[in-house]
Chain A
Amino acid sequence: EVQLVQSGAEVKKPGESLRISCKGSGYSFTSYWISWVRQMPGKGLEWMGRIDPSDSYTKYSPSFQGHVTISADKSISTAYLQWSSLKASDIAMYYCAREGYCSGGSCYLVSQHWGQGTLVTVSS
C-alpha cells in the first residue's frame, strides 16, 4: 500500500527555521516526483514545487521560488520542505503528494496519493 506520512504539527516563532518531512513507503521512492502543496486557513490549494528524488532536481512555482527549499534523502525515502526564516504568512497546512498516477500502462502527472498534512503555526 502506497503511503506518505508527514511529520507532526509545528508551532514556531517568526524568524525561526523549520523543516517538515514526508516519508514514502509501499512503492519505489525514486520512481515518482514528490510535490508540496500549501493550503492557507480557509483557502484553496497552491502548488509550491516538486522534487525528483532520484536526482534531487527541483522545480518551484514562481510564487514560492526563493522562499522555501525542497529536498529529499532517497536513502530514507523522505522528502523535505524547509524555511530559513518563518513569517506569520507561512501559517498553513502543507501537504506532500506523489506525482504519478498510473493506469493502463501509462502514468500521469497527477496526485492520487497524498500525505495527511502538516499544520504549521507561526506566532510570537
Chain B
Amino acid sequence: EIVLTQSPGTLSLSPGERATLSCRASQSVSSSYLAWYQQKPGQAPRLLIYDASSRATGIPDRFSGSGSGTDFTLTISRLEPEDFAVYYCQQYGSSQTFGQGTKVEIK
C-alpha cells in the first residue's frame, strides 16, 4: 500500500499570502495519479486537482498542482478567506490512499 505523508501538518498564513503544501509518497505514484481535495468543517471533500496538475471544473486558477514520482505540491498563489481549510492528497494509481491532511489556518 502506498503511504502518503503530507507536510506541514498546519500552515498559518494571512489572506493574500502564498501557500505551498507538500505530499510525499512511499513509492512512485504511477502516471502521476495524484489528486488534491479541500475539506471545510461539516462538509464533504471537494476535488481540486487530479493527475497531479489538472484543475477540476470550477476550481479557481490560484490553485495549482505539480510534481511526479514521489513528490507532489499544491500551491495556492494568493489565499482568499474561503481557502482556509484542510487539504488532502490522494493517490489512485494503486488502489487508493489519502494523506493525513494539512490544515491551512488564518495567522
Residues of B within 8 A of A109 (CB): 33, 92, 96
Which residues in B have their C-beta under 8 angstroms from that of A99? 92
Q: Which of under 10, 10 to 19, 20 to 34, or 35 or more describes the interface residues of A?
A: 20 to 34
Interface residues of B (CB under 8 A from A): 1, 33, 35, 37, 39, 44-45, 47, 50-51, 54, 56-57, 86, 88, 90, 92, 95-101
Total A-B contacts with CB atoms under 8 angstroms apart: 62
- B100, A44: Cβ atoms closer than 8 Å: yes
The main secondary structure of chain B at its interface with chain A is: loop
At the interface, is chain A mostly helix, strand, loop or mixed? strand
Q: What CA separation (Å) do A115 and B43 show in the bound complex? A: 10
Check B44–A44 contact: CB distance below 8 A.
no
Q: Is the Cβ of B56 less than 8 Å from the Cβ of A101?
A: yes
* B90 touching A110, Cβ below 8 Å: yes
Chain B nearest CB from A12 CB (Å) reads 22
Q: Report the minimal beta-carbon distance from B47 to chain A, rounded to whole angstroms.
A: 5
| Contact indicator B95/A101 (Cβ below 8 Å) | no
